[in-house]
Amino acid sequence: MKVDWLIVGAGFTGAVLAERIASQLGKKVLIVEQRDHIAGNAYDYYDEHGILVHKYGPHIFHTNAKHVWDYLGKYTEWHSYYHHVLGYVDGKPVPIPFNLNSLYTLFPPRYADKLADQLLAQYGFNVKVPILKIRESATGDDLRFLADYIYNNVFYHYTRKQWDLTPEELGPGVTARVPIYISRDDRYFQDTYQGMPKLGYTEMFRNLLNHKNIKVLLNTSFKELEGEVQYERMIFTGPIDDFFEHCHGELPYRSLHFKFIHSPEDNMQAVGTVNYPNEYAYTRTTEFKRLTGQRTFGTTYVEEYPQAYKRGENTPYYPIPKEEYRELYRRYEAEVTRLNGRVLFAGRLADYQYYNMDQAVARALSLFEKTIAV
């Protein structure tokens, strides 16, 4: 077979680039995907009870990038959805990100008033402060107590479970994704655009890839294709160290095990996701109906159990944001320049960056505009 572009991986990065190259440049694209489906980690499907579930953990779309929202909007309608999370602290479900409402759920009203006054005086209203920053900057006994309390009860054990590292051992951006929010806004994200693809992610990907110049080959890893396909250029969206056969050593990733549970109850929790920072081996439970708005009898939810990644045994879901691993990544990045632009690398695993879906799309659109379409 002969194509213009070979794209490895049918996730957001691969699918968006395939669509752009096929529709804007009129070139022939072959996507090779090792799994038996498109949509990468955003893949969803109807389980045996007829409930739309996310095979690789809960995916909630949110972005401030209008061009990303508008671009995907050509391939899906949106179900309006604002994600809410409760986290169990001292046996009580409190709003996460930790905010002024969380204070009133946990502390006696007059003490909560005092803490709220001090937070407002020191940081101001509607301000987001990462936990590691609040611990450094909090002044006075009360705020210092509060900073330690949130650190110990919300972040420390959750982060150990999720990453097997402490918040300090990771890049500060990780815990800063869920900052303390000095506000009464209980939503998990404050992005301008938030929602779920009305008919699901997989259906949105079907629309993205529905172009005469795009072919998708499933159940096939890139290695198996060697010699079978001729191509001008290639885009690789899998783990960058896999591509280079780990010549500088393996990049570390974090994996997860997902346990899906069906219950005959119509709902099993009050909000989309409940976090368990301190109890259980899992970090959180997510009830899919809450995200998708699907109306059915019974409900399906998923528990997420973090695991070490072992190549060949489980899936590399998260790059691990830590400076020493970034340095190792840079050694692979240096290898890329030796390929003289014939192979491009993009995506959460190929860039070794903790991208959300909108960032993966933005990265793909920008790679197309700045490097491919020129």
- Interface residues toward ligand FAD, by CB under 6 A: 8-14, 32-35, 40-42, 56-60, 221-222, 237-238, 242, 256, 317, 347-349, 355-358, 360
- 158 is an interface residue for ligand UDP by CB under 6 A: yes
Q: Which of ligand UDP, ligand FAD, none does residue 154 bind to, with CB < 5 to 8 Å depending on kind?
A: ligand UDP
Look at residues 233, 230, 221, 225 and name the one whose alpha carbon lies nearest to residue 312.
Answer: 221
Cis peptide before 97 (omega within 30 of 0): yes
158 vs 236 by CB, closer to ligand UDP: 158
- What angle, rounded to 10 degrees, do the helices at 66-73 and 357-367 form? 90
User: What does the DSSP 8-state code read for residue 4?
Assistant: E
- 175 is an interface residue for ligand UDP by CB under 6 A: yes
Tally of residues, the chain: 374
182 vs 216 by CB, closer to ligand UDP: 182
User: What does the DSSP 8-state code read for residue 250?
Assistant: P
In the bound state, the residue with its beta carbon closest to ligand UDP is: 158
Question: Which residues inside 191-250 make contact with ligand UDP, applying CB under 6 A?
Answer: none
34 vs 207 by CB, closer to ligand FAD: 34
Task: Specify burial of residue 333 (Cβ count, 10 A radius: 0-12, 13-18, 19+).
Answer: middle
* Letter string b/e over residues 89-120, b meaning 16 or more CB atoms within 10 A of that residue's CB: beeebbbbbbbbbbbbebbeeeebebbbebbe
- 275 is an interface residue for ligand UDP by CB under 6 A: yes
Phi/psi for 155 (5° steps) reads -100, -45
53: which strand partners? 45
The site for ligand UDP, by CB under 6 A, has a size of 13
Measured from the CB of residue 318, what is the shortest distance to ligand UDP in angstroms?
7
State the Cα–Cα distance between residues 253 and 134, nearest whole angstrom.
Answer: 28
With contacts defined by CB under 6 A, name the span among 34-42, 62-70, 151-159, 179-187 that binds ligand UDP: 151-159
Q: Which of ligand UDP, ligand FAD, none does residue 177 bind to, with CB < 5 to 8 Å depending on kind?
A: ligand UDP
Handedness of CA 20, 26, 30, 36 (dihedral sign): positive
**Interface with ligand UDP (CB under 6 A), residue from 96, 129, 143, 302:** 96
**Interface with ligand UDP (CB under 6 A), residue from 42, 178, 216, 361:** 178
Binding stretches for ligand UDP (CB under 6 A): 87, 96, 154-155, 158-159, 162, 174-175, 177-178, 275, 277
